[in-house]
């Protein structure tokens, strides 16, 4: 089977080596666009708008992002998802940077700080120093293959911030093997595949349906193909968003389980269970390591929540508080076992 090369779609400007991967032609001072309403509010939309109407309605909630560190500057995109200047983007765009600038649709800019991120799902939440309009989100259950979508972001450089491309949802629940910058392998799962054109710098930008709702965050594309892009479902981060906003922080519960969809493991003849989260590995000395959980188990329930896939697993773990004891049902060699884990 031919290996598909997938890469994260952000622009890195590396100063330390003297190599500029992408130059930023948009560095000149721009005059504020007074036609863009930046009043902080939930942007009001209606069902079944056309592409022009969607773009006009939502653009004030989208930002370009530059994040600087000792390694250089990365350029990406983001979208406001709550009042107070809370912006969702990819973790790989901002890293651990404490020098972040956001570029608004009215051609002004402001600072932002990183308040939460999760490398495992490649999501980060920023808080802009300037409040702004924000968009409603839609769960994965409302997304339909074949529906029209828009991708809005900052391809290539800040010169092209707030670029809009149109496509359709091509498939749901895609799982991809991704090689990380340190050479390790991780899995991105439950992804939305679409054919709206995305390029370097679109990372963190929203995938929006024609009701004007955010359904995903653009993160990856196939390197050797056209029209194969992937967005992380907004639902992946919904519980984290609800926990972060009240306190500007969120200490998530650590369990130490690396898992992927049992459906994929079933396809690879690794298990007889086709629903649940297949435990691929368990971190050394983690709460899961100190329990009876084993690699090869398929998690089907956490406390009262049914687990159909890793999206359900992630949401169930986000709901937990640090110190909670959890009860897990697993399928092991055809038998159901109940395991308790102290976090």
Reported confidence tier of residue 183, pLDDT bands at 50, 70, 90: low
For residue 146, how many C-alpha atoms fall within 13 Å in the half-sphere facing its CB? Answer: 0
pLDDT, position 4: 55
The mean of the pLDDT values for the chain is 88
pLDDT tens-digit profile of 36-73?
999 999 999 888 899 999 999 999 999 999 999 888 88
Report the percentage of the chain scoring pLDDT > 70.
Answer: 89
Q: Catalytic: 203?
A: yes
Report the percentage of the chain scoring pLDDT > 90.
Answer: 62
Q: How far is CA 282 from CA 52, 254, 255, 288, in A?
A: 48, 12, 9, 7
Q: Catalytic: 162?
A: no
User: What are phi and psi for residue 263, nearest 5 degrees?
Assistant: -60, -40
Per-state percent for the chain, helix, strand, coil, to nearest 5: 15, 40, 45
Catalytic residue chosen out of the listed positions 60, 74, 77, 92: 92
The secondary structure of 181-244 as a DSSP string is TTS-EEEEEEEEEE-S---TT-TTPEEEETTS-EEEEEEEEETTSSS-EEEEETHHHHHHHHHH
pLDDT tens-digit profile of 77-89?
999 999 999 999 9
Catalytic residue chosen out of the listed positions 74, 128, 200, 203: 203
The set of residues, in sequence order, having a beta carbon less than 8 Å from that of 3 and lying 6+ positions away, is: none
Q: Which of 105-114, 175-184, 282-291 has the lowest mean pLDDT?
A: 175-184
Walk me through the domains of the chain, giving residue ranges and CATH numbers.
9-132 (2.40.10.10), 141-237 (2.40.10.10), 257-342 (2.30.42.10)
Of residues 166 and 266, more confidently modeled? 166
Q: Catalytic: 68?
A: no
Residues composing the chain: 343
């Amino acid at each position: 089977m031919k290996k598909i090369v997938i890469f994260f779609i952000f622009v890195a400007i590396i100063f330390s080596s003297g190599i500029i991967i992408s130059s930023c032609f948009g560095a000149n001072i721009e005059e504020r666009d007074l036609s863009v309403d930046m009043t902080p509010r939930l942007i009001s939309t209606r069902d079944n708008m056309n592409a022009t109407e969607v773009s006009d309605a939502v653009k004030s909630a989208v930002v370009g992002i530059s994040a600087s560190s000792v390694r250089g500057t990365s350029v990406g995109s983001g979208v406001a998802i709550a009042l107070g200047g809370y912006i969702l983007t990819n973790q790989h765009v901002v890293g651990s940077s404490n020098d972040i600038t956001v570029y608004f649709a009215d051609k002004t800019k402001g600072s932002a700080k990183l308040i939460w991120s999760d490398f495992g799902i490649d999501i980060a939440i920023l808080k802009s120093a300037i409040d702004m309009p924000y968009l409603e989100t839609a769960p994965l259950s409302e997304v339909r293959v074949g529906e029209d979508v828009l991708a809005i972001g900052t391809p290539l450089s800040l010169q092209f911030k707030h670029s809009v491309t149109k496509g359709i949802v091509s498939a749901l629940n895609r799982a991809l093997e991704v090689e990380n910058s340190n050479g390790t392998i991780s899995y991105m799962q439950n992804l939305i595949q679409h054919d709206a054109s995305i390029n370097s710098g679109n990372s963190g930008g929203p995938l929006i349906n024609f009701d004007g709702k955010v359904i995903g965050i653009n993160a990856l594309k196939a390197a050797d193909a056209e029209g194969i892009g992937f967005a992380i479902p907004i639902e992946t981060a919904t519980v984290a968003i609800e926990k972060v906003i009240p306190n500007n922080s969120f200490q998530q519960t650590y369990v130490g389980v690396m898992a992927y969809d049992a459906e994929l493991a079933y396809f690879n003849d690794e298990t007889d269970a086709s629903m649940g989260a297949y435990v691929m590995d368990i971190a050394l000395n983690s709460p899961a390591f100190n329990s009876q959980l084993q690699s090869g188990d398929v998690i089907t329930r956490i406390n009262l929540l049914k687990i159909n896939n890793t999206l359900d697993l992630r949401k169930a773990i986000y709901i937990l508080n640090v110190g909670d004891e959890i009860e897990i049902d697993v399928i092991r060699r055809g038998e159901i076992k109940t395991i308790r884990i102290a976090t």
